[in-house]
A and B are shown apart, each in its own frame.
Chain A
Amino acid sequence: MVLDAASLVRSVSTVASLPSIYDRLRTVISRPLSSARDIGGVVSEDPGLTARLLKLVNSAFFGFPGRIDTVSRAITIVGTHQLSDLTLATSVIKAFDSVPQDLVDMTSFWCHSLAVGVCARVIASQRREDNVERFFVAGMLHDIGLPIMYMKLPREMRQILERSKATGELLDTVEKAVLSYDHTDVGRFLLKGWNLPESLQEAVHFHHHPERAQHFPVEAAAIHLADLIATALDMGSGGEYWVPPLDVKAWDFLGLNINTIPAMWDEIQCQYEDVVKIMLGKGK
């Protein structure tokens, strides 16, 4: 019997549980009297995480002049919510360490995820959004349903991948035809189970149909566009072979200046290379 999306997520809850550091961090941040040092204290409990966060804030991602070498300094410069979003991005890769790799190369999967994160972040900064890291995390998580499906439904997923490759149909279309749900449904249930904010849930759930997002249409539209760019530019792959069609309404809604697009490619490439090195590099 093939499980529905919700049961599928429940059946892996132990495998893909979010590292507790993110929860602890959010608790500290939500206390009004917490200082940058308190928050830094939580992050510093995990030396691997600390190292990666510091590398990230010192990379082309932020382009700050001068070195930032303590977490509390990073927090004052980057912001607390931004830092907790970056923590989430950094720790989620670890949660999927044990996914079997016969159907998907997890390095390539994360490369694609990071690329979508970077593209979404660049789009958000073009729009002068407050917290561009929120877009980065949303992009990073957009296909998070896929590894769950590769883990729990290897036979079905093999068929789905083969059919998509052979017929030219998009991956989510085939998933829906075979399973009656797709990786965006699974992703949403997972994020819900993790108690992540609604904005992330909607962005992930509707990245193939941004017009369905009711509360966070900007997030969904940005991830939609970002996914399209990352797929076209061959920056890693989660399993999709084909560039999805552009949702023209989402494009119009984002209101990007078409003239700045060519300059965006360079910025994306630059940030992508840095982020891949930091997040997937040997500094484990």
Chain B
Amino acid sequence: MRQINLENTQPGMVLAKDLYDRNGRLILKEGTSITEQHLRTFKVWRITALFVHMTGEQEKVEEERIDPDVQKRVDFKLKQKFRNADLSHPFMDMLYQNCQLRALAAALKSEKPHGT
């Protein structure tokens, strides 16, 4: 399971956690296979990130998008930052994943101009 941004969500991915909007309203149950129609609805409901299960293939595509060096740098920095925190608590785990997502998005953005 991993948390991904809406723009990287592909039809066919399977929701790994119940999806709620910011008011706590349930939008979609876990285990649902995401369709084009869902993606359009998420946009309207201003969902920006969600948890999905990925197939091996999807996992590979997602991983190839991210330079392993960048991933390593991000993880190293975050591990330092969270050195006093206990990540086994579900809230801390979510917070950590969110930080990871943000840091990777920022890294991708800053590297794009040099990219091929």
Asked whether A23 is an interface residue with its Cβ less than 8 Å from the other chain, the reply is no
A262 touches B84 (CB 8 A): no
B91 touches A258 (CB 8 A): yes
Chain A residues contacting B74 (CB-CB under 8 Å) are none
B residues 79-103 in Cβ contact with A at 8 Å? 80-86, 89-92, 94-96, 98-99, 102
A261 touches B94 (CB 8 A): yes
Asked whether A233 is an interface residue with its Cβ less than 8 Å from the other chain, the reply is yes
B94 touches A168 (CB 8 A): no
Interface of A is mostly: helix
Mark contacts of A124-137 with chain B using CB atoms, 8 A cut-off: 1 yes-contact digit, 0 otherwise: 00100000000000
CB contact between A245 and one of B49, B51, B84 (< 8 Å): that residue = B84
A246 to B88, CA, bound (A): 11
B48 touches A266 (CB 8 A): yes
Chain B residues contacting A244 (CB-CB under 8 Å) are 84-85
A239 to B99, CA, bound (A): 19
Interface residues on A, range: 20 to 34
A242 touches B81 (CB 8 A): yes
Chain A residues contacting B92 (CB-CB under 8 Å) are 246
Chain B residues contacting A241 (CB-CB under 8 Å) are 81
Asked whether A273 is an interface residue with its Cβ less than 8 Å from the other chain, the reply is no
Asked whether A104 is an interface residue with its Cβ less than 8 Å from the other chain, the reply is no
A residues 245-262 in Cβ contact with B at 8 Å? 245-246, 248, 251, 257-262
Chain B residues contacting A259 (CB-CB under 8 Å) are 17-18, 20, 24
